[in-house]
Every structure is written in structure tokens, then in C-alpha cells.
Chain A
């Protein structure tokens, strides 16, 4: 494997453009992904702020933004969802941290296909630019939601934003799929072929396992979404009828016939459900890594954790129909999807038990990365336990398309995944930038964000129970929903505070990049290979040699060892299992 690795080594580039713009170095590409996601998350968060303001003060006119009309509100939620799911939750954990740390953690000098890696990033970047352009074209951004249900998304006259804006939206997603397919191939090949001597599969850090499984999910899921997107473009522009039957929009008979609106839903959710795991699995990997490191204990049930990741990946492809219980799909198939969905709760529960088992009997160092990993577990539990409600078709009847669903997925794939990204940021920042982030600011960021996200998203469950439908720009038209506005108002205030404190994070990030105290090579006394090399790592990651691995990834507190941790490349004889 080391010989394969040397074939892929390439000389360090000179010159600004080859070094920082069109770089082939996985570390630079990882940072490019990270900063793209950082830009995207602030755009997405700003859109959600506008939505929260509009829900409470519909008449308010904001400087630069202007009036928010019902269709503007729908454009905001469409763009918020699309930006967050694709360009943040898929981009930062996998494209960002995965790119930067997967090769280093397995002892490789770079990704298997550096040029493909560069193309993958720049395709993602172009996709983002095209998506944002939808705001500025005639008619504005589309209003069909991030799920883009046909026929709404397939008919240019079904509403404002459904003309050029919707074409840009589909094109952006299709390009994103292409980029993700390139990335997935690269991750899978790298993990299989470029592991250092001694880095057996069962010695890989759980982060590597999670990026690897995520890449397999991406490879299988994005291809389907790409095809679905191309068919949608054909329906929209060439008069085909994949998704559109004979319909009459505002008295006008459209030219389509025979298409199936449910086909889009099947194709979309065949991608869409695995996508949830694409967003959260890397967070699980980071949580495992950080909880073990800061508890100074081996992860509880390493093998169970790896197998749980695999079974979540496998089951993740058999549950897409649980998004469609109310769609008119055969009610018999609902049983199968429902049982599989309940089954996927089992490996998720195993992970939680094992995180608690890791904490138990540890010597927990409560530094900022650990705070966010603990927050991740709390949010994962809260968001996960509303799943078994929605997984039961009879309970989905009152809850489907209400705020209960919005609360559920924001906690689990939104905020929990974001906490995974925060934990990863605070944890790997010293390695990436050679300096430490400020602990005090990190603590402020953690406590307010955790309390704030619960204050925003827990009430959504209550609203959903009371029947508050999602994607309503105002609640004044339905009497029973009007009564729920005070709770919505509370959530808007909670959102102000929570979004505000993210500026503390942003400040900490950039201030520490230049002014933070210098970091040592291994500030957290961790065991995996990225901590054995220089900070920041040299171009070929290990400065001309290839590491040899002797241990599993989480050898903390080994009785009889000289220190309370044994690094993976340490040939020490006191050893592990």
C-alpha cells in the first residue's frame, strides 16, 4: 500500500494560484470546502432569520431586503433548505473535514485522485454560484421547497420563481450531484487503497469509518438524484411528461399527460433519506473520536460502533417511503417502510449507549470540542426520539407536514450535525491553523447555542401536535393556527439570540487564526495519526516518510503504559486488544 501511495505523491506547487486556488493538495481543498460551507451557512442562517421575522411581523419592510411577500417567504424556505442540506451539511463534514483528515488519519500522502478532488470542489463552487444566482433573475428564486415536489416544480406557470429561478435550482443540484459523485469515488478509493502499513480496517478511527460509509451512501444516492434532476429539466423545458399528468393550471390545460407526480417523490427520497445519514454520520464519527479522546478512555464498543455505521448505511436505503405515507402510495408498502424505519432506530440507539458507556468511568476533560460532542449526543437523542412517532403511519397522519417534522429533522440532521461540525472545528483547528481557539469564547458559544437551539426547535414539536402546518407564510388564515402565534413569537426571539451568538464563533475562528496561542503538534494528547505529524502538516502530510501503525485508534488509559495514551504509530509493547 505504501508503494501505491508513493505513486500518488506530487511535488509541492509553487505560485499562489496552484497553491491556494486550483490546488491538488487535499488539505487546501478541505479548507476550500470548509470556507464554502461557512459562507453558505451564514447565507442560509440569514434567510432563516428573514423567515422568522416575516412570520411574526409580516408587514415589516427591511432595509435592502424590502417587503417579504408570501411567495418571497416560500423562496426563502426553498433556498434555506437547499443551501443548508447541500452546501453546509453535505459540504462541511465530508468535503471539508473528510478531505482534510481522511488521508492523514490513514497515513496517506493525499487523496487517490487529486485532480478529481480539485474538480469536485470547483464543481461544487459553481453549483453554489448558480443557486445563489436564482435570487437575482426575473421571478426570483423558486418557491417549491427544497424537496421540489412535482408538478409544482415542473410547471413554469405554477407560481413566481418557477421560471428561470427553478431551472437554475435544478441545474445547481444536478452539478452538486456530479461533484459529490467525484468526491465519493475518491473517498472510497483512498480508504481502500492508500492505508498505511498496519492500518487495518478495524484500526481505522471511527471518523474514517463514517467518511467511508458516507462516501458509499453518496455514490449510490447522488446518481439517482442526478437522473431525477435531468428528467425534471426535460419536463420543464422540452415538454416531456415524466412527472406531470394532464393538469390544468389556473384554467389553462397544460400539454403534459401520463406522468407520475409520485415518481419524483420516490426518486427524490431514494436520495433524500440516505442524505440525512450523509449529513449526520460524519458527526457521529467526530463525536466518537472526541468523546473517547476527552474522556481519556477507549471508545466503548468500537466494533459495535463500526457495525452500527454500516447497518445505518444499509438500512438507510430501505426507508425512503416513510416520507410518503400520505402521498397516495400503496398503504401496504407503508408497513414495510415503517418496520425498516423502526429498525434503523436500533443502531442509532446502540451508538448512544456506547457514547454514554465511554463517558462512564472516564476522566472527562471539558474543553470546547468535548462540550460540542456532549451537545451532539443530547441533540441526537432528542431529535432521534421523535423519529418513532413519525415512523408509525398512523401517527404520521396528524403529524406529517406539520412543525413536528420540522422540529424533528432540525434537531437531528440540522443542529446535531452542526454540533458535529463545531466539535470538529474546535478539535482540528489547532492542526489546521497551528493555533488554539479561545476557550472562554468557545464556552459562551456552546452554552448559548445549546440552550438557544432547544428553545427554537423543541416548541416546534408542540406546534406540530396542535396541527400547525409547515411552509405557511402566515398563520392568520386558519383560526386554530392563529392561536399558536405566541409560541412562534417566542421562537423568533430565541432565534435572534442563537444567531447572534454565532458571531462570537465567527470572531473566535478568525481572531484565533492570526492571534491565537501557538499550538503544539498534539495539544489534546490524542492518538490518531494527524497528531503525529507537524502542525500544520507538510504538503505530503508526514514529511517524506510513511507512518506504520501498531495500535487501534483509541488507546487511552492503558494500564502499565508510560503515558495515559498510546499513539497509533507508537511501537510501544504495552499493547492493546
Chain B
């Protein structure tokens, strides 16, 4: 019985660790400036937790087998514990866990405590059951006003987010169902939701942020590779949650300018 437990626990430990170490399933290719930082912190945490995991499981299996009751077993080690050991492993665990945490904090701070740099592209993301819309300011560099009473989801784009076309600043705003971004330029994101909470999740950017009704949440990030990346809604938002899907197309600055100009022309 002791041996059976040892074998089972060791096998579980081996298979669990193997698929992590072999990266059979792993984070998707990272294409933002913060991705390498996050991936590095990931790798570090994996090594530390992996060592603790293997050590704990292997000793559990071993101790159960080694000290199983047998006719030949001697008397037990009568002991109520060891204060030095208790203090030692408390201190070690505290240093390990809290140290790991502090190391990861700088990435969080730079992304969130500072505003986007000058020259970034302002994009407003609006989530609604069950679609994403992306708004660009147009040549005036300003977002025009929106009005909840004008929201008409069935018409899509400008009408879907309730763009107030009588506002001069809104006249050149472009609203699209696909997100276009120029490569290597910071994106100054404003996230909104009109009905319930949604969450804007782009795994390749290592980016996720809830869009909350009543709040305008500001975030910024920089995509670093041209390509198409998928958006998945990551907050339960109703029966169509699973299909609240979108695309980000990261393109060159020239292509981005061309696309925006074309959309402006289409509006006229």
C-alpha cells in the first residue's frame, strides 16, 4: 500500500512537471514591449514553484512508504516539534514568496502608474453584448461625445456606441469592429462598456483589462510585431460571451495612415 501511494504520487508529479517543463502548452508568442518582462517573471516563478512542488510531493510519497507500519518498525520518534525548524521554514518561505512578488512589481508600475507618452495613438475600446468597437479620433486628435440614447447596436460601428454626430469633434471620429494598430507605437487605450462588464484580453500582448460600465479605464501598451492577433472576452457577459471575439491587426505606420484616411473618406 505504501509503495502504491509512492508510485502514484511520483507519477503524478512527473507528468504534471513534464508538460510544464516541455512547454507542450504554453503562453502564446508575445508581441508587446511588456511581454518579455512578464514571461521572464513567469519563468522565474515556475522554477521556484516547480522546485517546491517536486520536493514536497516526492518527500510526501517517500515518507509514506519509508515509515509505513511494519512488524519490524521500531518505536516512533516521540516529538512535539522543533521551534528552530518552525522559525527557519517560516522565514525562508516568507523571504521567497515576498521577494518573488517584489521582483514582478516594476512591470506593473510602469504600465499603470504613468500615463501614455506623447505621440501615442488614442484608441477607445467599447464592449457591449456581444461585440467590441474601436474608436479613433480622426485628424482633430479629439474624441467627440457619445449619447446613451443614440446607442443602436443593430446598426453597428458609429451608431452602436451612440456617437453624437451633432458634436463637431465627433464628425471625424472613426469607429471600427476590428482594431487596427501601427507597429512599435504606443497605444493610449480608453476602455468602456455600455451594458455589463466585459474584459479585453489579447493573449499575444499579455494584455487584459476589464471594461466596466460607468468607468473610463486608461491603459497603454506597445505592440512590437506586425500580424493578426485574437481578442477574447474574458469576463462573463451573458449567453454570447463565448463568441465575443475580435481581431487586432498590427500593421506598419504607413498602412495604418492609409487605412485611417480611407475610413475618413468613406464617411464623407
Binding site for B on A (CB under 8 A): 69-71, 74, 143-145, 149, 151-152, 155, 158-160, 244-251, 253, 258-262, 295-304, 326-328, 331-332, 334-335, 338-339, 342-343, 345-346, 349-350, 352-354, 356-357, 359-366, 371, 374, 377-378, 381-382, 385-386, 388-389, 391-395, 397-398, 400-402, 443, 447, 450-451, 454, 458-459, 461-463, 465-467, 469, 471-475, 477-481, 484, 487, 556-559, 564, 577
- Asked if B236 and A394 sit within 8 Å, CB to CB, the answer is no
Choose one: B48, B76, B153; the contact of A295 (CB below 8 Å). B76
Contact of A346 among B15, B97, B233 (CB under 8 A): B97
A401→B235 contact, CB < 8 A: yes
B145 beta carbon closer than 8 Å to chain A: no
**Chain A residues whose CB sits within 8 angstroms of the CB of B20 once the complex forms:** 461-462
In the complex, which residues of chain B have a beta carbon less than 8 angstroms from the beta carbon of A364? Answer: 2, 64, 67-69
Report yes or no: A397 in contact with B2, Cβ–Cβ below 8 A.
no
Question: Could you tell me the distance in whole angstroms from the C-beta of B26 to the nearest C-beta in chain A?
Answer: 6
CB atoms of A394 and B97 under 8 A apart: no
Is there contact, CB below 8 Å, between B100 and A158? no
**Residue from the list A70, A357, A478 in contact with B239, Cβ < 8 A:** A70
Interface size on B, residues (CB 8 A): 101
Whether A556 and B76, one on each chain, are in contact in the complex, defined by CB atoms closer than 8 angstroms, is yes
Q: Quick check: B154 and A251 within 8 Å, CB to CB?
A: yes
A352 to chain B: which residues have CB within 8 Å?
A: 56
- Residues B195-224 near A (CB distance < 8 A): 195-197, 199, 201, 203, 206-210, 212-215, 217
Q: Once the chains bind, are A473 and B242 in contact (CB under 8 Å)?
A: yes
Choose the segment among B87-95, B165-173, B181-189, B250-258 that binds chain A (4+ C-beta atoms closer than 8 Å).
B87-95
Question: How distant is the Cα of A260 from the Cα of B57 in the complex, in angstroms?
Answer: 44
Residues of A within 8 A of B212 (CB): 261-262, 327-328
Query: CB-CB < 8 A to A349: which residues of B?
Result: 89-90, 93
Q: In the complex, which residue of chain B has the Cβ closest to the Cβ of A258?
A: B214
Of the listed residues B59, B101, B243, the one surrounded by the most CB atoms of chain A closer than 10 A to its CB is B101
B267 within 8 A of A: no
Chain B residue at smallest Cβ distance from A391: B101
Q: CB distance B28 to A559 under 8 Å?
A: no
B160 CB to closest chain A CB (Å) equals 9
**Is the CB–CB distance between A477 and B243 below 8 Å?**
yes
- Given A248-B194, A350-B90, the answer on whether A382 and B16 have CB atoms closer than 8 Å is yes
Which of B4-12, B115-123, B135-143 is found at the contact surface with chain A?
B4-12
Flag whether B238 is at the interface (Cβ < 8 A).
Answer: yes
Query: Known contacts being A159-B238, A338-B101, is A247 close to B195, with CB within 8 Å?
Result: yes
Indicate whether A297 sits within 8 Å of B78 (C-beta atoms), given known contacts A143-B239, A378-B12, A388-B97: yes
Residue-by-residue, is B43-66 near A (CB-CB < 8 Å gives 1, otherwise 0)? 001001100110011011001100
Which residues of the partner chain A approach B109 to less than 8 Å between Cβ atoms? 331
* Residue ID in chain A nearest B242 by CB atoms: A472
Instruction: Provide a sorted-by-A list of 17 A–B residue pairs whose CB atoms are within 8 angstroms.
Output: A152-B237, A247-B195, A251-B154, A328-B215, A334-B108, A339-B98, A346-B93, A346-B97, A360-B63, A364-B64, A392-B101, A392-B104, A394-B104, A394-B105, A467-B203, A473-B242, A474-B242
Q: How far is the CB of B150 from chain A (nearest CB, A)?
A: 9
CB distance A397 to B38 under 8 Å? yes
B193: nearest chain-A partner, CB-CB = A247
Within the assembled complex, what's the spacing in Å between the Cα atoms of A365 and B71? 11
CA distance A296 to B77 in the complex (A): 9
Of B85, B93, B235, which is within 8 A of A345 by CB? B93
Contact, CB under 8 Å: A343 / B98: yes
Q: A247-B195, A251-B152, A326-B208 are in contact. List 6 more A-B contacts (CB 8 A).
A: A328-B191, A335-B105, A350-B86, A401-B235, A466-B203, A474-B243
Q: Mark B129-164, 1 if CB is under 8 A from A, else 0.
A: 100000000000000000011011110000000100
Would A152 and B108 count as touching, CB distance under 8 A?
no
Residue contact B56 to A356, C-beta cutoff 8 Å: yes
B residues less than 8 Å from A365 (CB atoms): 69
Nearest-neighbor residue (CB-CB) of A253 within chain B: B148
- Nearest to A556 among chain B residues (CB) is B76
Does A343 contact B81, Cβ atoms closer than 8 Å? no
- Which residues of A sit under 8 angstroms from B232, Cβ to Cβ? 467, 469, 478, 481
Q: Taking each of B48, B60, B236, which has the highest tally of chain A beta carbons within 10 Å of its own beta carbon?
A: B236
Are B195 and A362 neighbours in the complex by a CB distance under 8 Å?
no
A251 to B191, CA, bound (A): 19
B24 is an interface residue with CB less than 8 A from chain A: yes
Q: Are B210 and A361 in contact (CB under 8 A)?
A: no
How distant is A467 from chain B, measured CB to nearest CB, in Å?
4
Set A155, A366, A378, A459: member contacting B57, Cβ < 8 A: A378
Complex contacts, A443 vs chain B, CB 8 Å: 1
**A258 to B80, alpha carbons, bound, how many Å?**
58
Q: Is the CB of B67 within 8 A of A360?
A: yes
Interface assignment of B178: CB less than 8 Å from any CB of chain A = no
Closest 10 CB pairs of A and B: A245-B214, A361-B77, A301-B81, A467-B203, A462-B25, A331-B112, A557-B76, A472-B242, A71-B239, A477-B243
What residues of chain A lie closer than 8 Å to B82, measured between beta carbons?
A: 300-301, 357
Q: Which residues of A contact B230 (CB under 8 A)?
A: 478-480
CA separation between A401 and B154, bound complex, in Å?
Answer: 29
Enumerate chain A residues within 8 angstroms of B78, measured Cβ to Cβ: 297-298, 556-559
Q: Is B259's CB within 8 Å of the partner chain A?
A: no
Partner of B69, one of A296, A385, A451, A475: A296
Say whether A326 contacts B236, CB under 8 Å: no
A331: nearest residue on chain B (CB-CB)?
Answer: B112
One of A151, A395, A458 near B104 (C-beta < 8 A): A395
